Amino acid sequence: MFIDSLDLFFKKIFQHKNEVVPAFILSNLYHQGKYLPYTNASLSFKLLANITNDIIINNKKSILEFGSGISTIIFARLIKLNNLETKIISIDESAEWILIVKKLLKDEGIENVVTFIHAPTIKSSQMDKSFEYDENIVSKELGDTKFDLILIDGPIAWSSKKRYSRASNIKHFINNLDASFTIFVDDTNRIGERYLVKQLKKKLNLKPNKLDATFMSFTEGMMFNYEI
């Protein structure tokens, strides 16, 4: 715990330095179309660069994203730029937010690579302090689709009343994983996400890979190195 806190402390001090190389790598994708607003809730450039590396290097075909946003657009731009056959399914609890992201994609002619699932969150009956995506909606939309890349950055889980919400995502994809896959988890400095990592480690029997102070990954199968 002390080491994690110290790591996070230094990350905050040197955050801009840590982002310089990843931001440079992603500059072509980030500035390819219309202006993309970047806030303190956005995925870091370093995490985005790790994921885009994985998509290209390990030939990812099917992405499942919990939490739509800049990442959705960056991945879609990458698919277009590199002429990939990759498809994205993006789940979000806000219909209004989905419409904003959809419009940005449509304006660039890349809306066809992303399928959105609007799944409002409901109070979990299985986990305290968790408001999870509606399982009936998610399971119906996903069916038996297999995914080789999962990104967990939703639903909203920053408040104490919702801190374990993302741990509820496991049941949505645990039976939809390809034989080889990568799972990226953001905000792993927080209590709820640390619990999520602990549960994934137990269920997958895999050791998490600490990519930075605030995000980790799990990898199954033969993979080439994607780390920044």
The answer to whether 131 and 164 are in contact (CB under 8 A) is no
pLDDT at res. 5: 56
Predicted pLDDT of residue 50: 97
**Cα 12 to the chain's mean position, in Å?**
21
DSSP H or E segment with residue 100: helix 95-107
Residue-wise DSSP of 5-59: HHHHHHHHHTHHHHHHHHHHHHHHHHTSSS-----TTSPPHHHHHHHHHHHHHTT
pLDDT at 1: 56
What is the rounded distance in angstroms from the CA atom of residue 17 to the CA atom of residue 115? 35
pLDDT for 77 equals 97
- The token pair at 15 is 């955050």
Longest dimension (CA), the chain: 47
Ramachandran class of 53: left when φ > 0, alpha when ψ lies in -120 to 50, beta otherwise: alpha
**pTM of the prediction?**
0.91
85, with CB counted inside 10 A (0-12, 13-18, 19+), is exposed
Among residues 208, 174, 176, 182, which one has the least CA distance to residue 193? 208
pLDDT of amino acid 7: 55
pLDDT recorded at residue 91 = 98
Alpha-helix runs per DSSP H in 108-185: 135-142, 170-173
CA torsion, ordered 198, 204, 207, 213, to nearest 10 deg: -50
Residue with tokens 């500059």: 27
Cβ 166 vs Cβ 195: under 8 Å: no
Q: What is the pLDDT along the chain (228 residues), one digit of tens a residue?
A: 555 555 555 455 445 457 888 988 899 999 888 888 888 888 999 999 999 999 999 999 999 999 999 999 999 999 999 999 999 999 999 999 999 999 999 999 999 999 999 999 999 999 999 999 999 999 999 999 999 999 999 999 999 999 999 999 999 999 999 999 999 999 999 999 999 999 999 999 999 999 999 999 999 999 999 998
Give the pLDDT score at 138: 98
